[in-house]
Structures are given as C-alpha cells and as structure tokens.
Amino acid sequence: MLNKIRNIEPGSDYRKAGKFKGFENATRLIESSLINISDSKQLSPALKFLAKNNWKLINLKFNNNENLLLTLKIGDYEFTTLIDVLNFSNIENLSYDITVQFDDDEKKIKYQAKFISHITYSEDTPDFSNINLTPLETLFERYVSLNIYTELNQTDSSLIKSLVIDIKKELEILFDYINEIFLTFICKLTQLPKIEKFGSENYSEQSVTLIQIKYFTD
C-alpha cells in the first residue's frame, strides 16, 4: 500500500516547530510521530484505518513547519486539504479540493470543486463504513449539464448556489463524514489525541459552502 503514496516529504525543521497543545513534550512528539512517517510501522495504523473504510492515501506532504497537505481518495473522488497540525485541536473548518475525472470521447476531463466545511460536533460514533457520494455526483452532473465550460466561483453567486440549493443537507452529512475520516487519519498518523469536541461559537447555519467549481483537461 505504501506504493500508492506519491510524495512523502517530512520537513527537516520540525525539531524547531513549537508546541502541540495538550502535550508537555512537543519536540519528542514531533520527532517520533512526524519525522519518521516514512517508516511503515509509523504509517501502519493510519493506513489500516483507511483500508478498512475503502479509502486510499494518494499524497502526503509537509508544506512547511505547520501544514500537512493530504490527499485521500474514495471511489472516483480525490479529496485534498491543508491541515494546520500545530493547531490541530483548534481547527474550526477545512477547505477541500475535490477532483473527479470523466472520459469524453478521446479526452480525459477532470472536474474540481472547492468546498469549505465547518467541523461540527457529534456525540454519535461515526459509521465509517457508510458513505453516500450521491450529492457530489449530483453536483458535478449539474455542472456538466450547464455546458458553459468556464469556472464558477463566488462572483457567480446565483448560479453556484443553484447547483447545491436542494442538496445542502445531504452535503452537510457527507462532509461531517469526510471531516471525521481526515481528522481520525491525522490522529492515527501523529498519535495526537482525538478531538473530543468540534465546533465553535462562530458556527453558522451554512456549515458547507461551495466556493468554486471548474473543469480542466490533461
């Protein structure tokens, strides 16, 4: 399974990275959990968690002394996000780039949507074996049916909202699941404790927002 990882580049300056909240010896945690992630024994619990739930690790890369660029895949969809590991316990939302590819005659066309998802708190134990990707299928099918071949973003507010207006609840359920997958993976990878409470006083009614959707060809 390690062959599926495209890029693992531990940052060489993690010994100077600062402190993780909740840990007295942050330097030791960083050295033991992040510097050595190329060791299969270190990755094993996180990879087993993904495999059990039909996810794959596609990309894992430290961008700097704080942020971890992570791409996971399930079905035809790749999810990429940037996680502030040093402030892991205070994360309030995650931004995802979601990519899917369709074959169109002789061309391979990729579609990408960017979402911001607020991390919500649930006392229920998540069912990681049950995921419904239908809301994403609906979103991309609607975008393809527009035949406009251009990027939509927040300046096209009416049009971009129309793509998700009647599937908001389904998207919220889906992204609650996705957030749990990513955060649990990070916990198992870094040995950070599980976040016992998600959410904040700044929580808004719109917990999932479509920021952008576009297409591109190889």
| pLDDT values of the chain reduced to their tens digit, one per residue, 218 residues | 334 334 333 333 333 333 443 333 333 434 444 434 455 566 788 899 999 999 999 988 877 667 889 999 999 999 999 998 878 888 899 999 999 998 776 778 899 999 999 988 666 666 777 889 999 999 999 999 998 888 999 888 899 999 999 999 999 999 999 999 999 998 888 777 666 554 444 444 568 999 999 998 86
Residue 19 confidence (pLDDT): 41
**Average pLDDT of the chain, as a whole number:** 77
DSSP conformation class of 192: P
Residue 197 confidence (pLDDT): 52
CA atoms within 13 A on the CB side of 109: 12
What CA–CA distances, in Å, run from 180 to 124, 130, 187?
12, 12, 10
Distance between CA atoms of 119 and 36, rounded to whole angstroms? 28
Residue 18 confidence (pLDDT): 39
- Name the pTM for this structure: 0.79
| Dihedral (CA of 31, 37, 43, 49) sign | positive
